[in-house]
Structure 1
Amino acid sequence: MGGDRATGLQRQLPASSRLLPHQTPFGRSGHRTPLSPRTVAGWILRHPDSLCEVEQLRLKAVLTHCPEPETLTGHVHSFAHILTERQGQRLPEWLDAVRQDDLPGLHTLADGIDRDRAAVIAGLTLPWNSGVVEGHVNRIKMLNAGCSAELASHS
């Protein structure tokens, strides 16, 4: 139902202002299929090397026609690099860059990181982690949930 509304709205826009004017390799030749924001977000969040050729081409078309996702993609990939390479010292620079762009969703993320900036930087920089402790906490929670469910079924 929601897809029908999105398709209807897209048809009402002049062809020159449509966000995603492309031909789909999945449908009839020449048939325009609007991409969902979830699909595009999935492509942005995945490592570029994990996208198939069609996904890479379609993402490139989106980024060519709309500057906001291109800026967002740059920030997402930069943040992923900071996380995977454990470069916490680069976080303040990344936060400043995010705040210079009009991307409210990332501003919310930046504000959340700022509330505990020192801990986030330490977590991205120091070699220690609390993974073992968190594993035990999760195991205890699961055991407690199982006991609670069993007690409820006997009541």
Structure 2
Amino acid sequence: MWAVATLWICIGDNGYPGSYSLVRRYLERHRDSPAPIGARPPTVRQVTGWLTRHPDTLGEDDRPRLKAVLEQCSQLRVAAKHVRAFGEIVTTLQGQRLPDWITAVRADSLPSLTSFANGLESDFDAVVAGLTTPWNSGPVEGRVNQTSR
């Protein structure tokens, strides 16, 4: 309300005889109503979840929101394509496709995905084996160093 007080003082100095409350009521009647607030933008966590889930598991509300986000950013669109392709490699055990995926990621120069690809290459044979064979060590994870009581 400091703007009302400032205006009241200024017009009072120029001879306006009215009260502060009269000026305030006048301004309230002529003030534009605030514009409606649009939908909140999605959080980073939401977008990451949308990108890393299988497209068929996205909710009805999430699909158009993801589409809108991807339309806003071409780099994110490219990253989404690579994330989905990697997800397919993982879920279908097609580790033999990994070299082509790494080449495609590097060609698009996305720093985070390039760093991830470099990490995969640091132990490439093990990664390909893990993405090709149906065996995994999931049931024993965390039990290797566990001591009995």
Q: TM-score scaled by structure 1?
A: 0.66
Contact kept in structure 1, 2:51 and 2:80, CA below 8 Å: yes
Work out the CA distance in 2 between the residues paired with 1:43 and 1:134: 27
After the TM superposition, which residues 40-51 of structure 1 pair with which residues of structure 2 at under 5 Å, given as runs?
A: 40-51=47-58
Aligned to 2:64: 57
Tell which deviates more after alignment, 82-91 or 35-44. Answer: 35-44
Tell which deviates more after alignment, 111-120 or 36-45. Answer: 36-45
Q: TM-score scaled by structure 2?
A: 0.68
- Show CA shifts across 1:21-65 (max 9, x none): xxxxxxx96624222222111111111111112210011011112
Work out the CA distance in 2 between the residues paired with 1:99 and 1:132: 34
* SS of structure 1 residue aligned to 2:61: helix
RMSD of aligned residue pairs (Cα, Å): 2.2
How many residue pairs align between the two structures? 115
Structure 1 stretches of at least 4 aligned residues deviating more than 4 Å after TM superposition? none
Work out the CA distance in 1 between the residues paired with 2:139 and 2:39: 50
Structure that is richer in helix per residue:
1
Structure 1 residue 131, shift from structure 2 partner: 3.3
Aligned to 1:20: none
> Is the aligned partner of 1:116 residue 2:145?
no
Work out the CA distance in 1 between the residues paired with 2:40 and 2:79: 23
Q: What letter matches 2:114 in structure 1?
A: H
> Is the aligned partner of 1:39 residue 2:46?
yes
Contact kept in structure 1, 2:93 and 2:134, CA below 8 Å: no
